[in-house]
Structure formats: structure tokens, C-alpha cells
Amino acid sequence: MGRGVSMGKAPSILVAIIFLCCWISIANAEYNTYQDPKQPVMKRVKDLLSKMTLQEKIGQMTQIERLVASADVLNKYYIGSVLSGGGSVPSRKASPEAWVDMVNGFQKGSLSTRLKIPMLYGIDAVHGHNNVYRATVFPHNVAIGATRDPQLAKRIGAATALEVRATGIPYVFAPCVAVCRDPRWGRCFESYSEDPKLVRAMTEIIPGLQGEIPSNSPKAVPFVAGQQKVVACAKHYVGDGGTTRGRNENNTLASRHDLLGIHMAPYYNAVIKGVASVMVSYSSWNGVKMHANRDLITGFLKNTLHFRGFVISDWQGIDRITSPPHLNYTYSILAGVGAGIDMIMVPYDYKEFISGLTSLVERKFIPMSRIDDAVARILRVKFTMGLFEHPLADYSMAKYLGSQEHRELAREAVRKSLVLLKNGGSADEPLIPLPKKASKILVAGTHADNIGYQCGGWTIEWQGLSGNNITAGTTILSAIKNTVNPKTRVVFQENPDSAYVKANKFSYAIVVVGELPYAETFGDSTNLTLQDPGPSIITNVCASVRCVVVLVTGRPVVIQPYLAQIDALVAAWLPGTEGQGVADVLFGDYGFSGKLPRTWFKTVDQLPMNVGDRHYDPLFPFGYGLTTHPAKAK
């Protein structure tokens, strides 16, 4: 203490007091293995689990909707996760900062619990951060399937992760890896393809969302690379795309061989790529509800595939184990948790869920080992992703939301996803690429000037919307106007009558028609016809002027009856906010390269009809798509 001696007396006492205070406070802040990021993840999980009460464990298994969430509720019930359902936003057109404030507000409730376990906020970001105003809306999965470009899917995943993190959210319910075998299904656009090989390839979106597993780390364990990445969720396990007549949430009749070969196939890839969660399907397999299927959840996914992330239920998924739903909720909890579901998307009546599960455990209907398995899996993901070290978001990533770079990426995806199905009567007289220079062109159709329609369901609202004020983007009409020669007159008539079309001397016409937005069961269709006035617009226009028909649809629709009148036909799927990509290709700045990710049927009575079927007689086969070369600038 030689230096202390040389100091004055009063200051040295002060130093001693300060030193003592520091020492006391350090000694009081108890060291916890689970709070030490230098400890291996599984050691932290074990330590934390050993400190938790039953109440705290059950809280971790509970996911609630933001509408019923508050810092107090999270704190009082130890809630492990909060979600935004489709269209559930802090306020209309909320800014990224408002989202961050909301998520952090909830998080503070969790961080002030005894063990300070952070909650995990989740949202459906199924084609970009689709609930959020001004986010980049990418084409829906069916369109990504048409690009045949898994690296593009990966880049979209990375961009989506940044936009989701921009709003303070670290978890997405994506990707949907359904293998849609019948386009009558209302969720067919959420599926990359009818071909399991193509869906498997598109699981590259997972390393885009979560980050690439370093070559020296183990595969097939949950992996999230940090604050720029998000937890992903492969859904809906399993057989969601195989239901009879494509009826949503219905029964998939299939042999075990077909189930594993068709619908299970993408999960092999998803698990190897470290997907951190898997969502269970509402549907049944051979009459057994997937939410109650212990053999496939615990037996196959956890034990055979060695999936080490957590299994989440779908929205009120356990309720729907009984029909009518919620008939016997105690039984639903027993069957669902017993089957191996780790986190339950309750999402509203958490008190009922928590008391039901608590009493099932106390009465030993559900063993503690099942609860510990569930909680260990959830905690493993929370530790792996760094949530304990970074539970609160800041505003620094807000700049990524709807960034120009992401919009360019979405535009590229649109260009690569368009499928050219017909181009003139013969190869000698192609209509596309369209000339940019023309005296007067007609743009017609319900979908030409409607951002909501071109984005489809799961955009801003669960069911999607109509109109151009819902979010930022470029309609196909404005894209056309941006692209043609400044001297070309572009006339827009949504629904012109045939006399009008005849009377005006148009050089050519572009007709943009399609399906109205829908999601889930609302999209189920037995006839797959284009709603009126789509067909009459095609007829009125194409009868008297050379026309390109651009279909804005989530799936193949009935088109054969109109095909002879149509000069050129383009499947544009649901392209999202960046409509400029459509004009880029129509006018030849880029060539067409997209290939059908689905079989295009002639008539609905052929369905289901998929590539490889014995009786295969499509209008356009799987993989079809004419190509064009970029035009020389004129």
C-alpha cells in the first residue's frame, strides 16, 4: 500500500470506502451459470431449468397475442412468448420505432421477473415483413418456386430478417414448406411447389433468415446467428398441402410412404439447416389430428429426425383437436402437450391454458419430464440466439424497413418469377417483348392499379386488402407508365366495353386480372374460376386488339376457355409491392425465365393432378415457361 501512504489521509479513507462498497455489491450479485454467456448453451439450459418453478416453466410454454399482452401480464404469468396474429399491429401504419417500443414494453415485464427470462416475440413474415406498413413485400412462395433460384430465396430470407429486426422482433412463423398437391387449397400460394424436390431446395430461405451454420459447428441443432437474424419456423407439420380436395385444415389421406416422401421431405432439409422451430398443422393425417399425433411429433420429428428446436402449435391449434373446437380444453392440452408440442399459441385465454396445464401436471397426467423437455427446447433457442444478452431492441435497424436495396431484391424476384405461357400465335410472331414506343396502348383490368391485389392475402391484414393507400409500392400500371417511351400514350380503363376498345385504335393492350386477396380457409375454391369481371375484360379487350393477359393469382386458375383469344399470357402470381418487375420483363429490359412450379390444369375435374402422375394431361405442364431474350434498346 505504498501509494496509499503517500496520499493524504482523507482521500485514502474515501478510496477504502468506495472499494468496500464495490466489493459488497459484487459479492451480493450472485453468479448464475445461466446468465454467463461464456458457458455452453446446454449448461445454461440445465442450470436455469433447475431453478424454475412449475409456474415459471408453464409460462415459458405459453404464447399469447399482443392484444391480451402487457408488461404486467408477462410479469405475473411468466409468459414465454407473444405474437402478432395476421394484421395485429400496435397502431395503423405504425412506424418501426412504435413497433420497437411495443415489443420492448412487453419485454420489460419479462425482464423484471425473478429469473429475468426474456420473452420471444413472433410474427408471420411470410413474404417479407408483411404486416408492417412500408415494409418490402416480396412475391408469395409460389412465385419464388417459379424462379427456381434457391439463392434468391436465401437473399429474401436475409432481407426479411433485417426488416423484422427493424421492428424489434426476433422470431418469424416462416417459411411455409407445405407441398401443395391441390390448387383448390386456399393456402396454395404459401407453398413453393407441388414438387417436394423444389420445396426442399427453397428451404435455403432458412439460412437466409437464421444465418448460415459455420462449417465447424454441428448441423441439425437450432441455429440463429445473432442480432441481424431471426428464429425461423418451418410449417405446417405435416401434410398441410395434401388434404382431400384441398380443403383447408382437413384430412390428408396418404400412405406412410407418400407422407414421408412428399410432405415430410422439406423437413429433412429444414432440420439439417438448423431451423429453430416447427409449427404443427391443423390438418389430420389419415383421420388423426396432427396436434395430437405423438407418433409424428415426438416419435418422428424429435426422436427420428433428432430435431432439437421447439415445436409450436398453430393458432388455437390444440382447441381444434376436438370438434367443435374447444369442446374439452383439458383434453386438448393433454393430447397436444402429450403429443410433444412445446409452445402453445393459445393465443387469448392464457389463464385457462395455464391453469389447465398446471392441474394436469400436478395430477400427474403429464409427467414433469415432458414439461422439462418443452422448456429446455424453448430456452435452448433463447440462449442460442443471444436473447438473454440482447433482450431489448433499439432503433438502429429501422433503416432496413422497406429499404431501396430490399425493394430492388423484390423487383428481381418478380422478374425471375414471371412465367410466359403463350407468346403470339406462333414463334415467328411473338408479341413479347412489347415495344416501348407505340402511339397509344390500353391497360385494362381490376388488378392493373391495385397494390393490395398484387400483394394478396397476408398483407397488412390477415386477408389482405384492396387499394393503393395500404402501403408503399409500385402498381403494375405505374410500372408500365415508367417504362414506355415518354411519347407513348397509356390509357387505363379498368373495365372497358367492347365498343370502346374497337373504336379506339390501340397499338396493343395489357390486361391485368386475377384473384381477389384471401388467406387460409377463405381461399378454398372448388371451381378456381376467375371472378367477374375478369373473364369479360379479357373477352372485351382481346376480341379487337392484340393483347397480353397478366394473371395476378396465387395458383393456376381456369384459363383454357379464353386461351384462343389471348395473344400472350403471363402468370405473375402474387408479386408484392414491386410491380416494376412486371414491366421490366414485359418490355424486354430483362428476359422471361420463370418455370411453372405447379401443373396448370385444363379443367378442375382433373384435380388433383401433379407432375409424375400416371394420368397427366395438363394445359401447361410443371416446368413449362417460354423464354425471351432482353430486347435491344429502341
Catalytic residue numbers read 314, 520
Judged by CB under 6 A, the residue of 34, 173, 310, 622 near ligand BGC is 173
For 478-546, strand residue ranges (E) read 489-493, 508-514
Only one of the segments 79-87, 366-374, 391-399, 465-473 lies at the binding site for ligand BGC (rule: CB under 6 A); that segment is 79-87
Q: What are the CA-CA distances from residue 63 to residues 144, 202, 219, 348, 351 (Å)?
A: 30, 28, 27, 9, 11
The answer for residues whose C-beta is within 8 angstroms of residue 187's C-beta and 6 or more apart is 176, 178, 180, 240, 241, 248, 519, 520, 523
Per-residue buried b or exposed e for 474-493, using 16+ beta carbons within 10 Å of the residue's own CB:
bbbbbbbbebbeeebebebb
Instruction: Enumerate the β-bridge partners of residue 82.
Output: 64, 121
Q: Which of residues 476-515 bind ligand BGC (CB under 6 A)?
A: none
Looking at the Cβ atoms of 174 and 418, the one nearer to ligand BGC is 174
Distance CA 388, CA 72 (A): 20
Distance CA 41, CA 209 (A): 21
Only one of the segments 16-24, 83-91, 326-334, 587-595 lies at the binding site for ligand BGC (rule: CB under 6 A); that segment is 83-91
Q: Which of residues 514-543 bind ligand BGC (CB under 6 A)?
A: 520
Only one of the segments 41-49, 84-92, 258-266, 411-419 lies at the binding site for ligand BGC (rule: CB under 6 A); that segment is 84-92
Residue among 394, 411, 238 nearest 314 (CA): 238
The CB-of-463 to ligand BGC minimum distance in angstroms stands at: 9
Q: What are the CA-CA distances from residue 153 to residues 131, 421, 476 (Å)?
A: 20, 23, 23
Looking at the Cβ atoms of 138 and 601, the one nearer to ligand BGC is 138
Judged by CB under 6 A, the residue of 185, 307, 462, 622 near ligand BGC is 462
- Three-state SS for 303? helix
Residue among 95, 279, 272, 276 nearest 176 (CA): 279
Binding mask 208-237 for ligand BGC (x = CB under 6 A): ---------------------------x--
Q: Is 124 in the site for ligand BGC (CB under 6 A)?
A: yes
Q: Is 453 in the site for ligand BGC (CB under 6 A)?
A: no
Looking at the Cβ atoms of 222 and 457, the one nearer to ligand BGC is 457
The CB-of-296 to ligand BGC minimum distance in angstroms stands at: 18
Q: Is 85 in the site for ligand BGC (CB under 6 A)?
A: yes
Judged by CB under 6 A, the residue of 12, 68, 87, 260 near ligand BGC is 87
Looking at the Cβ atoms of 86 and 183, the one nearer to ligand BGC is 86
Q: Is 194 in the site for ligand BGC (CB under 6 A)?
A: no
Instruction: Enumerate the β-bridge partners of residue 247.
Output: none
Residue carrying the nine cell digits 448464475: 32
Q: Which of residues 309-368 bind ligand BGC (CB under 6 A)?
A: 314-315
Binding mask 379-398 for ligand BGC (x = CB under 6 A): --------------------
The CB-of-191 to ligand BGC minimum distance in angstroms stands at: 12
- Three-state SS for 208? helix
Residue among 147, 154, 155 nearest 593 (CA): 147
Distance CA 58, CA 350 (A): 11
Looking at the Cβ atoms of 119 and 418, the one nearer to ligand BGC is 119
> What residues line the site for ligand BGC (CB under 6 A)?
85-88, 124, 173, 235, 314-315, 462, 520
